[in-house]
Structure 1
Amino acid sequence: MADDNLISPNEAEIEFLNLAYNKFYDIYDDVFTDEFWDKDEFYRFSKVKMVFSIYAEIINYEPLRWTIKLIKDNRPPMEAEIASDLFKFIRNILAHFPFFDTWNSVWINSLLVNWYKKGLTIDKFLIKYEGHKEIKYRYWEEKRKLMTNITISFPKKYSGGAQVYLKDILTEKEGVKFALILMKKVLNTQVEEVTERN
């Protein structure tokens, strides 16, 4: 008897998920090399923009939405919000304001965010989390035998045109590594096996 709770991806989902997962893992592996951080800022920024876009698309897959709900119900406070709301927020900034060449140069304010229409997703996120207390995490890098502590900070001020820098929310190196680790944790819930490609 089949388990009614299991959903197999359809043909289109398999096509998309294979491409998306493969590219995500490629970038993930690249980010966790020392050579990646020796490359110029624009190269790093391009890869990071790509990985946030891929993740934002993949989590539209229904079983991953269930995973986010499970995280919300069973993991420490704010982990689900970071794995969904924060990462989508970052993806939206990078996609909708493609004026910047490096992570550390990305900024927005309420005027820029609402240039077209008020109350869209970036604006909603910033209003909701303005002044929210910072969140501290740590992660372990097995290859480097290194534990890293990071802080995710939310804007103290957003309304009234205050500039909000992405680097002040999540740092480029340690913050991006943390983001990819959490993304991979979410994505791996749908992986049955990983094989090396040639």
Structure 2
Amino acid sequence: MKHFKAYLLPLLCSTLLFTACSKNNENDAPDPSEDRMMQELESSPIKEFPKTANDQHDISLLVDYDRRFSEMSDAMEDELIKMRDNGSLTDEFARSRKQDNIQSALTMLKALDLKTEQGRYIQGLMAQYWENQAKLINQNSKASQDIPNSTPDNIKGLGEFLHAQEQLDHWEAQYEPAEKSKS
């Protein structure tokens, strides 16, 4: 028995060491879906546009859209959380509210009377993202009753949406010093 322990202990240690190394190598291997997600989240560089007399008009409309849509989305999310917490939330209702939210985003965006190329560029990027989300939620409702929370398809186009936000922030920042000096 003593010799058995003498052989078993080194064998067990080397097995554990080998297993740990192979698990480490597995963790180092890139996950294709994670790679795809990271590529999708990469946003394009800021695109430069010439300044126009209508820039501040369009900036104001886009910032107002963003504020109003965020408030509406936050209220919807709060409602869904309360319903989930009290047990009255159904998958169908949650899906319906998400569809309503997406349609509201598109309707609000398309209603903006933007006058500049940069404003329409940002509007187009945002609309493209929301149109993609509408397609996804419609496909998911037809395919199954489950709403996926974080599949790679759900982030499709998110990089372009983030680019639109960055573009708007950059554009707005070009005019902030002028507004502060007027005050």
Q: TM-score, normalised by structure 2?
A: 0.33
Point out the structure with the larger helix share.
2
Query: Between Structure 1 and Structure 2, whose CA radius of gyration is higher?
Result: 2
